[in-house]
């Protein structure tokens, strides 16, 4: 099943409010590392990265014509192949829209050493809001952590953004 592209086209126009979450994610990335920004949107994370980071983005909408830093891809249909392993993979506001989260986390474990991943845990959001935003999955905090651990990620730290959304800082 594919992703609702029209929803994300509209999101590009109105969502600079993601900045707080993106800044928080960026503070955990060390300089002179490789970064894969999954669901990169307008590449806002790149503006907050430390010096000498090598940036690659993946998004369903490619807003930067002929931009070699962004790979256009619907992650509900396929995952791009990489010849290298990234030092950091960031996922900001995307996992809720992934249909097969276990397959997605397994994929991340094959291409990344560290993952910084935001997730709106089931216990913090009511079902009406989850349905309004068309979220594809609903995990509790503990279920989500178990899934990360199943594929070799250790949660080293958690942050909270927007009062209740979790950011998990993980390593292998």
Residue 169 lies in a domain: no
Q: CB–CB of 115/170 below 8 Å?
A: yes
The structural domain count of the chain equals 1
**pLDDT the model gives residue 119:** 96
Q: Give this prediction's pTM.
A: 0.89
Q: Is the pLDDT of residue 64 over 70?
A: no
**pLDDT the model gives residue 90:** 98
Residue 102 lies in a domain: yes
Residue 47 lies in a domain: yes
Residue 145 lies in a domain: yes
**pLDDT the model gives residue 14:** 43
Token pair recorded at residue 31: 């300089």
Residue 130 lies in a domain: yes
Q: CB–CB of 61/8 below 8 Å?
A: yes
Average pLDDT over residues 65-77: 82
Residue 164 lies in a domain: no
Q: Is the pLDDT of residue 171 over 90?
A: yes
CATH value at residue 132: 3.40.50.150
- Close Cβ partners of 68 (under 8 Å, ≥ 6 residues apart): none
Residue 168 lies in a domain: no
Range of the domain at 34: 5-13+28-153
- Give tens-digit pLDDT for 83-121: 889 999 999 999 999 999 999 999 999 999 999 999 999
* Residue 15 confidence class, pLDDT cut points 50, 70, 90: low
Which one is predicted more confidently, 8 or 35? 35
- Give tens-digit pLDDT for 139-155: 999 999 999 999 999 99
Residue 20 lies in a domain: no
**pLDDT the model gives residue 63:** 66
Q: CB–CB of 71/57 below 8 Å?
A: yes
| Burial grade of 87 (CB within 10 A; 0-12, 13-18, 19 or more) | middle
């Amino acid at each position: 099943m594919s992703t609702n592209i029209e929803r994300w086209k509209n999101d590009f126009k109105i969502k600079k409010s993601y900045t707080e979450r993106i800044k928080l994610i960026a503070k955990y990335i060390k300089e002179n590392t490789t970064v894969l920004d999954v669901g990169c949107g307008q590449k806002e994370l790149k503006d907050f990265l430390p010096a000498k980071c090598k940036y690659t983005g993946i998004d369903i909408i490619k807003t930067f014509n002929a931009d070699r830093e962004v790979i256009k891809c619907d992650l509900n249909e396929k995952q791009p192949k990489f010849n290298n392993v990234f030092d950091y993979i960031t996922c900001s506001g995307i996992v809720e829209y992934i249909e097969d989260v276990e397959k997605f986390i397994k994929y991340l474990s094959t291409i990344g050493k560290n993952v910084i991943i935001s997730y709106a845990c089931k216990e913090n959001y009511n079902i009406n809001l989850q349905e309004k935003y068309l979220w594809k999955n609903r995990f509790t905090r503990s279920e989500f952590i178990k899934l990360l651990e199943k594929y070799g990620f250790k949660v080293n730290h958690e942050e909270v953004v927007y009062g209740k959304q979790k950011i998990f800082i993980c390593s292998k």
